Amino acid sequence: MTDPNPHQSGHGHGHGHGHGGGGKRLLSKIGHAFTPHSHDSADKTDTALESSSRGMRVLAVSFAVLMVTGLVQAVIVVFSGSVALLGDTLHNFADALTAVPLAIAFSLGRRAATRRFTYGYGRAEDLAGIVIVLLIAASAAFAGYEAVKRLIQPENVQALGLVAVAGVVGFLGNEWVARYRIRVGREIGSAALVADGLHARTDGFTSLAVLLSAGGAALGFPLADPIVGLLITVAIVFVLRDAAREIYHRLMDAVDPKLIAQAERILAGVPGVKRVGSVRLRWIGHALRAEVEIAVRHDLSLIEAHAVAVEAEHRLIHELPRLRAATVHADPDGPVGTDHHAVLVAHR
C-alpha cells in the first residue's frame, strides 16, 4: 500500500495522522491516498547516521588500543626473543587492521541509494564481515601451525617474566576491545562489528596462551607452550563457528523470530486491521526494512484503507527497534466487488 523511499521525505507523521477538520481533513486524506509515504524521516535518518558514527568511533578507539598493545608486546619481543610472543604481536597488529574493511563498510553505508543500488550500500557491512571471518579462520590456522611446530621443535624462551607481562597486556587489550565492539555492534545491529569483536576475543585467548606457556617453561615444562597453543586453537575454531553463523544468517536475510512476533503484535493492535498476513524483515547493514501484509474491512473506501495502512506503517517504524523503513500492503478481508478490488490493485 505504501512504498517509502528511505532517502525521500514525504510528510511528517511524528504526532499522529490527524489533519484538522472538515474540508481540510478530506483534502488531506485525498493527498494521502495519492502521495508516497515515508516514515524513514529525519529522526530515523539521523539515527542511522548516528549508528554509523558510533561504529566509526569504535573502530578508531579499538584500532588505537590494539596498536598500543602490539607496540608494548613488540618491545618485549626484542628483549625475550620469544617466537610465540612474536606471533601474538603480529596477530594483534593484524587484528587492528581489520578495522580497515569495517571503516570502509561504514563509510559506504552512509551513501544515498541510487537507481542501481536501490537499497543503498548497507550490505557492505556483510562483505566486511566475510573478510573478518576469513581473518579469524587464518588466525586459527596460524595458531594451530605454530602449536604443532613448537610441539615438534620445542624452544627455550628468555625473560619469562616480561613474556608473561606481555601476555597479560595482550589479553587485557584484546578483551577490552572485544567487549567494546560486541556491545556497540549489538546495540546498532552490526553483525560485522560483532564478528570483529569475537575476532579480538580470539586474539586475547592467544595472548593467554603466551602467558600459560611462559608459566609452563618457568616450571621446567617446555611442552606447555604447544599444548596450550593447541587448546587455544580449538577455542578459536568455536569462535569462528559463531562468527561465521552470524554473518551467514545476515547474508541469508535471517532475522530473530522474536522480531517477527513483535511486528505481528504491533500490527494486530492497529485499529482497522482485521488480520495480519505475511511479515518479512531483512537487515540492510545495521538497519531493518519490513514488508508486511494486512487485511482491512472489505467495505472501506480506498482512502480509509490507506489510512489504516499508514497507521500500521507509523507504529512499526516507531515501535520496532532499528526499523528504518516499512512497506505495508493492505487487502480487503472478505467479499469485495470487482471495482473496489481494482482500485486497491491500482494503488499497490
Confidence of residue 20 (pLDDT cuts 50, 70, 90): very low
pLDDT value, residue 146: 75
137 and 232: one domain? Answer: yes
Q: Please check whether residue 230 lies inside any domain of the structure.
A: yes
Domain that holds residue 246: 43-251
Q: Between residues 2 and 273, which one has the greater pLDDT?
A: 273
223 and 300: one domain? Answer: no
Tell me if 74 sits within 8 A of 107, measured CB to CB: no
163 and 310: one domain? Answer: no
Confidence of residue 309 (pLDDT cuts 50, 70, 90): very high
Summarised one tens digit per residue, pLDDT across range 169-224 is 888 988 999 999 898 888 877 777 888 788 788 778 778 777 777 777 778 777 77
Q: Across the strands, what pairs with 120? A: none
Q: Is 343 exposed, middle or buried (0-12, 13-18, 19+ CB in 10 A)?
A: middle
Nine cell digits for residue 278: 505475511
The C-alpha cell 610465540 sits at: 84
The C-alpha cell 483534502 sits at: 27
User: The CATH number of the domain where 91 resides is what?
Assistant: 1.20.1510.10
Distances (CA, A) of 26 to 32, 278, 314: 10, 31, 20
Q: Please check whether residue 214 lies inside any domain of the structure.
A: yes
Summarised one tens digit per residue, pLDDT across range 243-278 is 899 889 988 999 999 999 999 999 999 999 999 999
297 and 201: one domain? Answer: no
* pLDDT surpassing 90 at residue 18: no
Q: Please check whether residue 4 lies inside any domain of the structure.
A: no
Contact residues for 39 (Cβ-Cβ < 8 A; gap 6+)? 4, 13, 313, 314, 316, 317, 318, 325, 326
Average pLDDT over residues 42-57: 58
* pLDDT surpassing 60 at residue 298: yes
Q: Using CA atoms, how far apart are residues 156 and 143, in angstroms rounded to an integer? A: 18
pLDDT value, residue 255: 92
Q: How many domains does the chain have?
A: 2
Nine cell digits for residue 145: 601451525
* pLDDT surpassing 90 at residue 281: yes
pLDDT value, residue 218: 78
Average pLDDT over residues 148-175: 81
Summarised one tens digit per residue, pLDDT across range 114-134 is 999 988 888 888 888 898 888
